């Protein structure tokens, strides 16, 4: 039952990590009504699992690596709840909840534990691929919209109309909104894809999966992706500067995705 409680906590951490995105970044406060209860339930199940684990091991403090990872994940989950209780803000959950999910997952799916059956595993791999492809597709569309923004802006500001620039009947504000909404669509897809891929890879490679520099860079760029959207939303950044910021992050994310294809660790065996 200990492992069952912990894996249920991992699932709830994942749901909370996804639900907090629209609540904090997309001006959808109703999503916090899903994120916060899931985080509370995850912390509760997690506490029960950790207490049973330590009791079965006959010690009060974590000693094994998976026990330390589990405790760290619980601390992160409780930190999010304490901040929310004090300030009624879920913004910190953008970063804290995915970290809690990863550390709890490392403890729940450590080597030697039973894994998914082949049919279930195949379905999760398929979902992982589809979500990431959807995220990268949204990034490409956003990048193209950003390029169109620059073209349209130059055409409107040019005193002598340049014939090689195609005429566009779409306002600059609309193009900017298309680029931003594509980013907002791609972020949940990328987040869910990375979380699912982390669970699958943990079964094959254990903690060394997170030691691959390309994988670490991927999660680092995910943080940059979130920070870029947060800056645009919080500061009201618009126009050319917003386009340059978005385009730079998008190009780097796509570059890292291409680099991951040559990673020695980022390989999933066919069931």
pLDDT digits (tens, 9 = 90+) for 239-271: 667 667 777 777 776 676 666 656 555 554 444
Tally of structural domains, the chain: 2
Residues 146 and 258 in one domain: yes
pTM for the model stands at: 0.67
Say if residues 182 and 142 touch (Cβ distance below 8 Å).
yes
The residue ranking higher by pLDDT, 110 or 188, is 188
Same domain? For 101 and 160 the reply is no
Q: Are residues 250 and 138 in the same domain?
A: yes
Domain boundary among 62, 83, 114: 114
- The string of DSSP codes covering 162-181 is -TTSPP--S-HHHHHHHHHH
CB atoms < 10 A from the CB of 233, how many?
15
**Is the domain of 84 the same as that of 36?**
yes
User: Is residue 4 located within the same domain as residue 17?
Assistant: yes
Higher-pLDDT residue of 24, 30: 30
Q: Where are the alpha helices (DSSP H) in 236-262?
A: 239-260
Q: 3-state DSSP call for residue 143?
A: helix
Q: Which two tokens stand for residue 35?
A: 């994120």
Residues 109 and 199 in one domain: no
* % of the chain exceeding 90 in pLDDT: 20
Same-domain status, 121 and 108 = no
94 in the same domain as 172 = no
Residue 105 has pLDDT above 90, yes or no: no
Domain co-membership, 177 together with 265:
yes
Average pLDDT value over all residues in the chain: 78
Tens digits of residue pLDDT in 30-63: 999 999 999 999 999 999 999 998 888 877 777 7
Residue 201, C-beta contacts closer than 8 angstroms, at least 6 positions apart: 209, 265, 266, 268
Last residue of a domain, which of 64, 93, 114?
Answer: 114
End-of-domain residue from the set 68, 89, 114: 114
Contact 36, 83 (CB under 8 A): no
Query: What's the confidence (pLDDT) of residue 271?
Result: 41
Q: What is the CA radius of gyration of the chain?
A: 21
For the chain, the first-to-last Cα distance in angstroms comes to 27
3-state helix, strand, coil in the chain (%, to 5): 80, 0, 20
Same domain for 259 and 152: yes
User: What CATH code is carried by the domain that includes residue 13?
Assistant: 1.20.120
The pLDDT score that the predictor gives to residue 11 is 93
Contact present, 265 and 205 (Cβ < 8 Å)? yes
**Concatenated DSSP letters of 58-83:** T-SS--SHHHHHHHHHHHHHHHHHHH
- Spatial separation of the C-alpha atoms in residues 179 and 168, rounded to whole Å: 16
Q: Which of 198, 196, 185, 192 is nearest to 137 (CA)?
A: 185
Q: Is the dihedral of CA 239, 241, 246, 252 positive or negative?
A: positive
- Which residues span the domain enclosing 58? 1-114
Among 138, 156, 171, smallest CA distance to 249 is for 138
**166 lies in the same domain as 266:** yes
CA angle 197, 123, 191 (to 5 degrees): 30
- 26 DSSP 8-state letter: S
d(CA 35, CA 14): 10
User: In the numeric block, which tokens belong to residue 127?
Assistant: 């979902």
Shared-domain flag, residues 46 and 26? yes
Lowest mean pLDDT among 114-128, 129-143, 180-194: 114-128
**Distance separating alpha carbons of residues 227 and 181, to the nearest angstrom:** 15
Q: Identify which has the larger pLDDT, 208 or 57.
A: 57
């Amino acid at each position: 039952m200990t492992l069952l409680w912990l894996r249920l906590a991992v699932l709830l951490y994942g749901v909370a990590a996804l639900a907090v995105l629209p609540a904090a970044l997309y001006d959808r406060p109703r999503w916090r009504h899903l994120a916060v209860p899931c985080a509370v339930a995850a912390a509760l199940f997690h506490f029960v699992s950790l207490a049973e684990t330590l009791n079965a091991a006959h010690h009060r403090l974590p000693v094994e690596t998976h026990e330390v990872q589990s405790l760290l994940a619980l601390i992160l989950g409780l930190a999010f709840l304490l901040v929310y209780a004090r300030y009624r803000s879920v913004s910190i959950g953008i970063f804290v909840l995915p970290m809690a999910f990863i550390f709890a997952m490392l403890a729940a799916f450590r080597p030697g534990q039973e894994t998914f059956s082949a049919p279930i595993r195949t379905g999760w791999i398929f979902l992982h691929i589809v979500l990431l492809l959807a995220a990268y597709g949204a990034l490409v569309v956003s990048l193209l919209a950003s390029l169109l923004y620059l073209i349209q802006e130059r055409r409107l500001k040019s005193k002598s109309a340049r014939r090689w620039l195609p005429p566009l009947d779409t306002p600059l504000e609309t193009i900017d909104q298309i680029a931003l909404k594509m980013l907002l669509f791609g972020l949940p897809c990328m987040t869910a894809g990375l979380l699912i891929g982390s669970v699958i890879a943990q079964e094959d490679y254990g903690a060394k999966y997170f030691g691959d520099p390309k994988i670490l860079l991927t999660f680092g760029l995910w943080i940059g992706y979130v920070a870029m959207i947060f800056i645009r939303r919080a500061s009201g950044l618009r126009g050319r500067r917003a386009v340059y910021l978005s385009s730079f992050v998008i190009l780097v994310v796509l570059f890292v995705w291409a680099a991951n294809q040559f990673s020695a660790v980022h390989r999933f065996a066919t069931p």
